[in-house]
Amino acid sequence: MPNTVFYNKDGKIIALVNADTAIKETLDKFDFGEKILVNFNSGVELLNTWEKEHTNIKAVIVQGEVLDSFGIAMLQALKEKNFPDVPFILISTNLTGNLVKLALTAGLADVYKQPLNQNHFQRRVKFLTDHWTELHTQKKQNDFKPYKTPLIKRVFDVFFAGLALLLLSPLFLIVIIALKFESRGPVFYYSPRVGTGYKIFKFYKFRSMYVNADKKLKDLKHLNQYASAGSAAESTISNALCDECKIMGIKCQFPLHADNNMWCEKQYIYSKKMKNGSAFFKLKDDPRITKVGKIIRNTSIDELPQLWNVIIGDMSIVGNRPLPMYEAEKLTTDKYSLRFLAPAGITGLWQVEKRGKGEMSEDERLMLDNTYAKNHSFMNDIRLILKTIPALFQKENV
């Protein structure tokens, strides 16, 4: 497929992003009429080329998963860069009815599961590109309106987070020195999180584990507090990469990032391999945690860098905790998706009501998240903040 055609500014382009050899060979055989199919390795490459060449892009076809970096997250990133409003079509491997509903609600034009049906796919692409203006106008009228932070809550969030960052700067310095002194590795790390309306953003924390913590996890999976005894015994790990990562390629698709270091967050939840596994993973007395990390976790000091997430608008002071993408993927049913209609926050109802008061099941945690989503208000948030301070200093290792 010659890319030279792409630089004809008058040509109609269908951008193919992150496609493996099999998908490329398959789509090369399809007939998209006068539109030319052009390959891009990433959304960044697509965006840079569009900005430089001002090409006539009519559609974007991406190979990826709904909740990975090539799904909803990529669509959001393109929108933020004022990329042309064109059909965004996802070719996926793992799909459920709930994920399709989530993808369409988020703004994707269509989602397909491999293998592709040639006649149906090429007809659908042609229909979307030829009628996108009227189709998208109708869709906007019926789009779900995600939660929008009220002005009073936003003003409070920025004021509170800014004041806290200023007052806590000496504590930040002490933690940074202690972490550097105890173990090698970066002080901060971030990982992708799913917040309000399934928005994906970078979630910051102080590092509380050794950098190679993921390598130890396979020996600790049976200690998961949320997993049932039977399911934990049945779970086996045969490879450093999970099934989803192996599908996407040879590298981890769910990384934690810190400076030049990266380790796999997906390995936090091996029970994801089981059909009915727990959506959460938690260890008591986790040996992967450093001594300083244990202190900052038990006092929730490790959460303080999230004040920056509040400043930039990804989170609020009070709300439901944003989740890793692989956890959020399990919570797309009507029963559980309610929690994502509330603001994402540093502290929330379940931390105050249950944290430090004994074991808490996954259903209890989700019930409290849904309860907050139904009843949240600015005054209730103030009450939760006042109750949060005693909850920070508890005996249970979290």
Output the six-digit token pair for 116.
């592709």
Q: For 360-372, how does the pLDDT look when each residue is reduced to its tens digit (9 = 90+)?
A: 667 777 888 888 8
Of 85-89, 146-150, 200-204, 339-343, the range with the lowest mean pLDDT is: 146-150
CB 289 within 8 A of CB 297: yes
| pLDDT of 87 | 92
| pLDDT of 154 | 93
Q: What are phi and psi of 373, to 5 degrees?
A: -60, -35
The answer to whether the predicted template modeling score (pTM) of the entire model surpasses 0.75 is: no
Identify which has the larger pLDDT, 164 or 226. 164
Report how far residue 128's alpha carbon sits from residue 135's, in angstroms, rounded to the nearest whole number: 8
Using alpha carbons, list the distances in angstroms from residue 197 to 14, 152, 364.
28, 20, 21
**In the chain, domain spans:** 3-142, 151-392
Beta partners for residue 255, in sequence order: 264
Q: What are phi and psi of 289, to 5 degrees?
A: -85, 135
Using alpha carbons, list the distances in angstroms from residue 17 to 37, 44, 181.
10, 10, 43
Cα-based torsion angle of the residue sequence 211, 215, 219, 221 in order, rounded to the nearest 10 degrees = 80
User: In CATH, what number does 3-142 get?
Assistant: 3.40.50.2300
Report the percentage of the chain scoring pLDDT > 90. 17
CB 295 within 8 A of CB 301: yes
Report how far residue 52's alpha carbon sits from residue 300's, in angstroms, rounded to the nearest whole number: 46
| pLDDT of 368 | 83
Q: Does 319 have pLDDT greater than 60?
A: yes
Identify which has the larger pLDDT, 179 or 102. 179
| pLDDT of 315 | 92
| pLDDT of 222 | 54
Q: Does 156 have pLDDT greater than 90?
A: yes
Q: For 7-19, how does the pLDDT look when each residue is reduced to its tens digit (9 = 90+)?
A: 445 568 899 999 9
Q: Does 39 have pLDDT greater than 70?
A: yes
| pLDDT (mean) for 208-230 | 58
Residue 113's H or E segment, with its range, is strand 110-113
Model confidence at 299, in pLDDT bands (50, 70, 90)?
Answer: confident
3-state secondary structure 183-223: CCCCCEEEEEEECHHHCEEEEEEECCECCCHHHHHCCCHHH
82 Cα distance to chain centroid: 21
Q: Does 31 have pLDDT greater than 80?
A: yes
Report how far residue 151's alpha carbon sits from residue 346's, in angstroms, rounded to the nearest whole number: 18
Model confidence at 396, in pLDDT bands (50, 70, 90)?
Answer: very low
Q: Does 217 have pLDDT greater than 80?
A: no
C-beta atoms surrounding 157 within 10 Å: 24
Per DSSP, the three-state class of 237 is coil
